[in-house]
């Protein structure tokens, strides 16, 4: 059977709600910007080029979203399997569209309008997945803006530089640490210093890809001189962490270290509780050491590796 591989994107804007861009074909079908991956291109490069050619838009993609769609169609009596890698792209509400000659127009539709008007079930499934991710992305963006603003409060004793969480917003697994370190504060990314490199090593040991999990901390501002966040700082940041969890809806949360275990479960000693799986509502919490402790003590590192091996069996 002949196969074709293409790449494209759901392009959306926020204008009195989320509006999704659809191109209108000569047969008056609704479609998204997409096209063949050309020689020498990767999938993302192809999607970006197709969007530019078909709409005139220069876009940046929403991180971590990729949907692999497939469907069959017939051409000259031959049945063809079409595979399409689909990404998400956000544009401003004032973005100007320039349609290519292969289309006769375009429409901005709300999610409900789109679900009513599109014909094919595979497109409906794509729209459902994309719209769910868009809602999470926009909610997280707004939450992080509010979280970042607490650094302006009088008496704020942490770094003014906010280190956002990182990873898919529909991740099955979430990792929660203590607070950013000096390297994280400079790079504005969680777990990218020595502790982060060890965490990457441990995740690879149990065949969990870093880009498949959401990584954050109880406190998302660097405590000067790498001190432990005080209770007041934890209480100030805790509501934001809880809302992040509500947005992501993970099935498993791995708590890295005593501060995370104490904040989320009231556990006072990781030494006594590491390797445990504790169910709370729809979430299974998994308790282990912080990578910083594993860097200092070989025994702790061995225990942490065994904990993650156990966690992988639980997660499946």
Can you give the residue ranges of every domain in the chain?
2-120, 156-315
In tens, the pLDDT along 215-235 reads 999 999 999 999 999 999 999
Distance CA 303, CA 36 (A): 49
Domain 2-120 in CATH 3.30.450.20? The answer is no
Under CATH, what is the fold of the domain 156-315?
Uracil-DNA Glycosylase, subunit E (3.40.470)
Q: Do domains 2-120 and 156-315 have the same CATH topology?
A: no
Identify each DSSP E strand in 15-57 by its residue range.
18-24, 30-31, 34-36
* Residue/partner pairs of 35-40 with CB below 8 Å, 24 or more apart: 35/6, 35/7, 35/8, 36/4, 36/5, 36/6, 37/5, 37/6, 37/7
The per-residue pLDDT string of the chain (316 residues; one tens digit each, 9 = 90 and over) reads 688 889 999 999 999 999 999 999 998 999 999 999 999 999 999 999 999 999 999 998 999 999 998 878 787 888 888 889 999 999 999 999 999 999 999 999 999 999 999 988 989 999 999 999 999 999 999 999 999 999 999 889 999 999 999 999 999 999 999 999 999 999 999 999 999 999 999 999 999 999 999 999 999 999 999 999 999 999 999 999 999 999 999 999 999 999 999 999 999 889 999 999 999 999 999 999 999 999 999 999 999 999 999 999 999 8
Predicted model pTM = 0.93
């Amino acid at each position: 059977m002949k196969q074709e591989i293409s790449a494209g994107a759901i392009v959306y804007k926020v204008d009195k709600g989320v509006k999704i861009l659809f191109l209108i074909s000569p047969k008056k079908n609704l479609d998204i910007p997409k096209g063949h991956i050309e020689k020498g291109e990767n999938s993302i490069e192809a999607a970006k080029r197709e969007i530019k050619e078909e709409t005139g838009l220069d876009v940046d993609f929403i991180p971590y979203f990729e949907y692999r769609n497939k469907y069959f169609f017939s051409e000259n009596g031959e049945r063809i399997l079409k595979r399409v890698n689909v990404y998400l792209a956000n544009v401003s509400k004032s973005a100007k569209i320039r349609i290519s000659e292969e289309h006769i127009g375009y429409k901005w539709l709300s999610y409900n309008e789109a679900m009513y008007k599109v014909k094919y079930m595979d497109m409906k499934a794509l729209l459902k997945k994309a719209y769910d991710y868009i809602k999470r992305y926009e909610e997280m963006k707004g939450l992080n803006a509010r979280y970042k603003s607490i650094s302006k409060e009088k008496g704020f004793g942490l770094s003014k530089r906010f280190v956002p969480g990182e990873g898919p917003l529909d991740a099955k697994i979430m990792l929660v640490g203590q607070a950013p370190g000096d390297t994280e504060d400079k790079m504005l990314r969680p777990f990218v210093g020595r502790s982060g490199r060890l965490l990457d090593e441990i995740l690879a040991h149990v065949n969990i890809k870093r880009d498949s999990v959401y990584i954050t901390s109880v406190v998302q501002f660097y405590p000067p001189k790498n001190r432990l966040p005080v209770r007041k700082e934890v209480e100030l940041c805790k509501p934001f962490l809880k809302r992040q969890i509500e947005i992501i809806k993970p099935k498993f949360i791995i708590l890295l270290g005593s501060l995370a275990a104490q904040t989320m479960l009231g556990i006072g000693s990781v030494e006594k509780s590491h390797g445990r799986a504790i169910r709370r509502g729809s979430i299974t919490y998994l308790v282990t050491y912080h990578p910083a402790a594993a860097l200092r003590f070989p025994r702790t590192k061995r225990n942490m590796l065994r904990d993650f091996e156990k966690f992988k069996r639980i997660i499946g």
